[in-house]
Structure 1
């Protein structure tokens, strides 16, 4: 010994044994990682020292409930609900409706199997499908351009009314599909308009407009009939020509109006001259008749009438005359 007193070494305090926990609580904490900061109020905390560090160990306070198997009635009810839901979905997929003015083309795995009329129908889900075809009267308005017989450029807006033949709805769908208007109707309108316009001059297209429209409708109906499309009406809304043609037409109309006015003036002059001739003839005829009717007795009677009128107008004063003549008219004898 070197004279120093030995320093007693205190043995470390034994670790505090963990608090006994219920088996269910231990099972709840089993497998959870150790944490340094416990969640307040959620778990029971166990303290221990390992390697000079304080370790916090959590244990759930909530007791895990152990549930038993469901009763048979509950399982049966769940099965029934599932069956009803599947049946309702299957029924919804099986019911289809064809609205008024349409035909339903029935397809089975993509192949046409028939045509359904308006109303409620049932189909096989995932195997059958229904395509609606509108069989009502439809309208197609098209801007068409062509050349007339005299090589004038003609532009027009035409309106076509048509409908699908209900008996051939399936055929129309098989050959053309649902966009048959863009495939057949509009191109046919353009082609027929050009064919008919080439038969007439620009002036005839205006003056014979109704005839042009009827011929176009007849030819268009003939073209669309093989496709199952029926033409109901065809109307030409307007004709539009070039500015040069419009100016020429205006000048021609002006010249025709002037010529017509001159013709009317000439006819008026002729009528007036004829009237004067007829009037002169009438006056000459009247004079001739008068000459034939004049006799000495008629002349004497006219002379007497003139003298009487002079006497009636006399105011009783003698006129101043030079010479010895008496200013009185001789009276007829017997007065």
Structure 2
């Protein structure tokens, strides 16, 4: 009996809670929140009706649902096989950033059913096509050394193909290039030879500079010696000229003043008479000292 009353009470309590639960569920399904970087596409019985910006919004419970569409920049990466201009097989990893036009998010959802479907059906095939059409235009070495040209080529091709779609594509990058190992080895050998040639050229240039420096040093030294010699020669010339002028002046003075000769002889006489005299004509030399002795 007690057990039956308890069961009746539980059944009555559950029955009273149903309206409350229904109200809670109804209230819970009457609003939605769109987070930043997204827009909310409101669907009524599966049909897209409008889009809402980030924030709190209300909808008809159980009739309308919301699909969030990201309008921030997304990144797609592809790894694909291709070939270079010289028909060398190559594997490239390429990435692209793309953004949905915020105002066109509803149209994109209506036409393609969402971002994943748009990527798979529209963006990725065109991205692969643009890459595979561009890579064969470059030789392997050019592809490695000048990725920017290949990236610009892919970007131009993809932009043309995506011109009619409500998205913006940009910032294409070639993340990695994988070439056959034989070609990589040949590049390493070529680079090694180039480095050796550059080192040898640097060595020759250094030797040339050292030789030039030695020549310049010798030339400067020779010029220095020449300058010294010229200075000495000029000094000798000036000295000789001065002596000649002095002699000439002295001779002129002697010619103009004969008494100076006598005065000079008198100043230089030691007080002794000459021991010999020269005779005139055939007169022999007379030794005065012998005559003096005899007189004594």
TM-score after normalising by structure 1 = 0.58
Whole-Å separation in 2 of the counterparts to 1:294 and 1:83: 129
| Cα drift, residue 103 of structure 1 | 1.4
The residue aligned with 2:187 is: 249
The residue aligned with 1:101 is: 37
Question: Of 198, 206, 209, which aligns to 2:144?
Answer: 206
| Cα drift, residue 232 of structure 1 | 4.3
The residue aligned with 1:128 is: 64
| Cα drift, residue 243 of structure 1 | 0.6
Match status 1:192 vs 2:126: no
| Cα drift, residue 202 of structure 1 | 1.4
The residue aligned with 2:227 is: 289
Q: How does 1:39-50 map to 2 (within 5 A)?
A: none
| Cα drift, residue 163 of structure 1 | 2.0
| Cα drift, residue 256 of structure 1 | 0.9
Q: How does 1:49-198 map to 2 (within 5 A)?
A: 83-178=19-114, 179=116, 180-198=118-136
SS, match of residue 164 in structure 2:
helix
1:150-206 CA distance string (max 9 Å, x none): 222222222322221111111211222221222223223322222222222211122
Whole-Å separation in 2 of the counterparts to 1:223 and 1:235: 18
**Higher relative contact order at CA 8 Å, sep ≥6: structure 1 or structure 2?**
2
| Cα drift, residue 254 of structure 1 | 1.2
Q: How many residues align?
A: 229
The residue aligned with 1:235 is: 173
| Cα drift, residue 214 of structure 1 | 3.7
Whole-Å separation in 2 of the counterparts to 1:257 and 1:120: 65
- Larger relative helix fraction: 2
Gaps of 5+ in 1: 1-61, 68-74, 302-335
Q: Residues 221, 294 of structure 1: CA spacing in aligned structure 2 closer, same or farther, 3 A cutoff?
A: same
Q: Which has the larger radius of gyration?
A: 1
TM-score after normalising by structure 2 = 0.65
The residue aligned with 2:286 is: none
Match status 1:263 vs 2:178: no
Q: Residues 293, 97 of structure 1: CA spacing in aligned structure 2 closer, same or farther, 3 A cutoff?
A: closer
The residue aligned with 1:306 is: none
| Cα drift, residue 147 of structure 1 | 1.5
